[in-house]
Amino acid sequence: MAIRFYNTLTKRVEDFIPLEEGKVKIYMCGPTVYDYFHIGNARSFVMIDIIRRYFIYKGFDVKFVMNLTDIDDKIINKAISEGVTASEIAKKYSEAFFEDIQKLKIKPADVYPRATENINNIIELIQKLLDKGIAYQINGDVFYDVTKFPDYGKLSGKKLEDLISGARVEINEQKKNPADFALWKSAKQGEPFWESPWGKGRPGWHIECSVMSMRNLGETFDIHAGGSDLIFPHHENEIAQSEAATGKPFARYWIHFGFLNIDNQKMSKSLGNFFTTREILEKFSAEALRLLYSQSIYSAPLNFSIDLLQNSENAIKRLNNSLHQLETSPVLDSQEDFPVERFYQEFEEAMDENFNTPQAVAVFFDFVKEVNSFLAKYNGVSSANKEKILNVFKQIGEDILGIVNLQKRKSFDDKLLDDLMKIIIDIRSQMRAEKRFDIADKIRDELKKLNIELEDKKGITTYKFNK
């Protein structure tokens, strides 16, 4: 079955047909590095990570590019407020970005282009637009003339006449039209700048992404992704300037991620409900946050709350308990086959139809439930079944969804705990054999206070965490 998903450009769900068979080129709008990114940003980063991982799972050769905007008004304002340079702010928060996406278990991009490393290419593209009469220069600023691009508004659905009349667009007396946007901004006193044919200045935000995407993926590429808030004006302007310059389609498919609200309210520092990803990960696991994001369709709004995140954390603990049961179950010589093929099929059916992660997650938890029942029924597992089941945990739970961490479970501390619990269980079994049930019960009760539950089945005792 082909992968199908909603294309913002055409406003419908379409079969994905790559430009090159077996290859996918994806560009994702990355952060403006002036602060720690918040949990709304994190949702977009995690969901494109899952989509990318799924393409890889399906056998595609994926090239993934995510930019870093390291020169921008927000960076300059932050630098002024802290009394440092813009480059120092960009460096600090670029490093923080890489630290936090690693904590989120996000697969690194193939390329992380930075705006400041592409200034010459940006100047070349602006000059091309000027030469074509699509841009104009006034007092060191260069603007894009939206009236010269007949398809302006095709992504967002906005009508050019409404924009030109001033609706929702900041009026600037230098512009020919209110909807015209800056390609190059002349330098103000004390701001960082680069030399250009139009004087000292810096690039506009929109032109940066056009250059960084086309330079790394070609003038036409497969998928452009980003938050829904970027559809207009950012992505609309990217299309206009890129297609006007090249005469070719820009991105063929557009994926946009829905807004994140906090307890049914818009996230805002003024409301006191603003969370950075960094502070959330100090209290909750990356797996729990990824699970919460996966339980909503990527394009739909997501309501975030600490209670919902705690529910996800509890679900992750159930996953880990199931894995622990599997890893510590007695090994049987033979056993009926566990039906892993059904779960692979149902998972792929969900993901192939518009990356339906809520349904895909439901399939995975159904699989976990079946594993638990299977282990309980036989009080053990054959080596063949154990390998097949672990492969599902790895391929779906870890490699695609990122909600399972098999490597972490194999750490020294986990092994030490397993060894200690075997000693305790052996001692308790000896106490029961000697009919010293008071001591055996005391061991069980004291472990329960530590959220460790012993289970006695058919003469074999196992343990699990029960937080």
The two three-digit tokens of residue 139, written as one number: 């007092």
Given a contact cutoff of 8 angstroms between Cβ atoms, the answer to whether 206 and 237 are in contact is yes
pLDDT at 409: 56
Confidence of residue 466 (pLDDT cuts 50, 70, 90): low
Average pLDDT value for residue range 337-345 = 97
pLDDT at 448: 84
Report the top-level CATH class of 311-403: mainly alpha
pLDDT at 172: 61
More confidently predicted of 210 and 437: 210
How far apart CA 424 and CA 189 sit, in angstroms, is 71
Residues 343-373 pLDDT 10s: 999 999 999 999 999 999 999 999 999 999 9
Q: Is the pLDDT of residue 168 over 60?
A: no
Confidence of residue 287 (pLDDT cuts 50, 70, 90): very high
Give the per-residue SS3 of the chain: CCCEEEECCCCEEEECCCCCCCEEEEEECCCECCCCCEHHHHHHHHHHHHHHHHHHHCCCEEEEEECEECCCHHHHHHHHHHCCCHHHHHHHHHHHHHHHHHHCCCCCCCECCEHHHCHHHHHHHHHHHHHCCCEEEECCEEEECHHHCCCCCCCCCCCHHHHHCCCCCCCCCCCCCCCCEEEEEECCCCCCCECCCCCCEEECHHHHHHHHHHHHHCCCEEEEEEEHHHHHHHHHHHHHHHHHHHCCCCEEEEEEECCEEECCEECCCCCCCCCEHHHHHCCCCHHHHHHHHHCCCCCCCEEECHHHHHHHHHHHHHHHHHHHHHHHCCEECCCCCCCHHHHHHHHHHHHHECCCHHHHHHHHHHHHHHHHHHHHHHCCEEHHHHHHHHHHHHHHHHCCCCCCCHHHHCCHHHHHHHHHHHHHHHHHHHHHHCCCHHHHHHHHHHHHHCCEEEEEECCEEEEEECC
Average pLDDT value for residue range 264-278 = 81
Q: Is the pLDDT of residue 447 over 90?
A: no
Residues 172-201 pLDDT 10s: 667 888 899 999 999 999 899 999 999 999
Residue spans of the domains in the chain: they are 16-266, 311-403, 412-465
pLDDT at 1: 73
The second-level CATH assignment, the architecture, of 16-266 is: 3-Layer(aba) Sandwich (3.40)
pLDDT at 456: 82
How far apart CA 249 and CA 242 sit, in angstroms, is 8
More confidently predicted of 444 and 100: 100
Q: Examine domains 16-266 and 311-403 and report if their fold is the same.
A: no
**Region class of 206: left (phi > 0), else alpha (psi between -120 and 50), else beta:** alpha
Terminal CA-CA length for the chain: 40
Q: How far is CA 209 from CA 115, 147, 229, 257, 458, in A?
A: 8, 21, 15, 18, 63
